Copies of this chain bind each other. A is one copy, B any other.
Amino acid sequence: MVTLAEVAQHAGVSASTVSYVLSGKRSISTTTRQRVEQSIRELGYHPNAGARALASSRSNIIALMVPLRTDMYVPVMMEIAIAVATTARTHGYDVLLLTGEEGPDAVRRVTGSGLADAMILMDVELDDERLPLLRGTDQPSVLIGLPADTSGLTCVDLDFRATGALCVEHLAMLGHRDIAVIGEAPAVYERHTGFAERTLDGLRSRAQELGVRLLHRPCEGGYDAMAVTLARILDERPGTTGFVVQNESAVEPLLALLRQQGRAVPEDVSVVAICPDQVATQASVRLTSVAIPAQEMGRNAVERLVAKLDGRGSDEVVLITPELTVRASTGPVPA
């Protein structure tokens, strides 16, 4: 293992000079800098991470806590995680992957040991038990998702309320007066992750404003559950012509069932999905959808975090404005 001292000797300067070349914290003459850089290259020097962390009390590592659960939104989570990792690298940080398994202990461990300089939490619940810990430490953190009380926290999330409103608006504009909402699995609402409720809020209040009737039904993914749910909906509101789906694994079953029942999309019924673009474009009908901007969320979270680490930036809630893309699954209500 090549050390700083060896580089220094090779370049004929002192260790501190090499350190300053590396960090740029003091000015170094061009000739010296070049000589040092040359030595670094020749010797294949890489600073030792542990020593650096010890001396500077900075590990240059960001911890990312992902949910343990792999039953929901996996591609979204993965996309966020990858966006976090790549964005972090552009700022000189590496990413430590923590699972939700350890719960609050993981937060204690990481902050206590100086393993990471900061953390990003995904899948935050409304009343998450990790929040008090985050508030009680001076280690910067960013949440992806919105808890009930955001005071003293920085959060990044899609504006799900606006998302709900946007979906209703689009359908209402096309003349739909009876709209059914296929929601997440009941467990999601019970877990109080918040985003589902916020979407529903947005849907409901905009529906009321526009005089549109709304029926909301949570739904497990898969064909059987969707079949039951759809039957119930059409039984209660036979005049339903618009659907809003917020459950990736219910999208395809819904389309299949509608097809099977002879209801054409978009001629007879319209479907708006809230899902990643990839799902929307790969479905059997190209879906009008509001995208879940996974990449943007990940990138944004890292950027806020880095800002905090640099002493810039402050606590705030960033709600990403939803965008609805019209594709082939929505059209005017049938005459």
Of A67-75, A165-173, A200-208, A319-327, the one contacting chain B is A67-75
How many angstroms between the C-alpha atoms of A91 and B179 in the bound complex? 51
Question: A70, B99: Cβ atoms under 8 Å?
Answer: no
Q: Which of A1-50 contact B (CB under 8 A)?
A: 1, 44-50
Question: B59, A50: Cβ atoms under 8 Å?
Answer: yes
Q: Does A210 have its Cβ within 8 Å of any Cβ on chain B? A: no
Q: Does A114 have its Cβ within 8 Å of any Cβ on chain B? A: yes
A277 CB, min distance to chain B CBs, angstroms:
12
Q: Does A303 have its Cβ within 8 Å of any Cβ on chain B? A: no
Which chain B residue shows the least CB distance to A56? B50
Q: Report B-chain residues with C-beta under 8 Å of the C-beta of A281.
A: 222
How many angstroms between the C-alpha atoms of A102 and B50 in the bound complex? 21
How many angstroms between the C-alpha atoms of A173 and B219 in the bound complex? 39
Q: Report B-chain residues with C-beta under 8 Å of the C-beta of A50.
A: 49-54, 57, 59, 114
Q: Report B-chain residues with C-beta under 8 Å of the C-beta of A283.
A: 223
Q: Report B-chain residues with C-beta under 8 Å of the C-beta of A57.
A: 50
Q: Report B-chain residues with C-beta under 8 Å of the C-beta of A223.
A: 282-284
How many angstroms between the C-alpha atoms of A112 and B54 in the bound complex? 17
Question: A115, B94: Cβ atoms under 8 Å?
Answer: yes
Which chain B residue shows the least CB distance to A71? B278
Given A113-B46, A284-B256, A82-B54 contact (CB < 8 Å): no
Q: Does A96 have its Cβ within 8 Å of any Cβ on chain B? A: yes
Q: Does A316 have its Cβ within 8 Å of any Cβ on chain B? A: no
Q: Does A229 have its Cβ within 8 Å of any Cβ on chain B? A: no
- Which of A79, A95, A284 has the most chain B CB within a 10 Å cutoff? A284
Partner of A66, one of B82, B252, B282, B284: B82
How many angstroms between the C-alpha atoms of A61 and B48 in the bound complex? 14
Q: Report B-chain residues with C-beta under 8 Å of the C-beta of A64.
A: 97
Partner of A75, one of B44, B74, B89, B112: B74
Which chain B residue shows the least CB distance to A285? B223
Q: Does A267 have its Cβ within 8 Å of any Cβ on chain B? A: no
How many angstroms between the C-alpha atoms of A114 and B52 in the bound complex? 11
Q: Does A188 have its Cβ within 8 Å of any Cβ on chain B? A: no
Given contacts A47-B113, A66-B82, list 15 more A-B pairs with CB under 8 A. A44-B112, A45-B112, A48-B54, A49-B113, A50-B54, A53-B54, A61-B96, A82-B99, A85-B98, A86-B99, A86-B101, A89-B101, A96-B96, A249-B282, A252-B284
Q: Name A residues whose Cβ lies closer than 8 Å to a Cβ of B.
A: 1, 44-54, 57, 59, 61, 64, 66, 68, 70, 74-75, 77-79, 81-82, 85-86, 89, 94-99, 101-102, 108-109, 112-115, 221-223, 249, 252-253, 256, 281-284
Interface CB pairs A-B, < 8 A, 29:
A1-B112, A1-B114, A46-B109, A46-B112, A47-B113, A48-B114, A49-B53, A49-B114, A50-B59, A53-B53, A64-B97, A68-B86, A70-B75, A74-B74, A74-B75, A75-B75, A78-B81, A85-B98, A86-B101, A89-B99, A94-B96, A96-B96, A221-B282, A222-B281, A222-B282, A223-B283, A249-B282, A252-B284, A256-B256
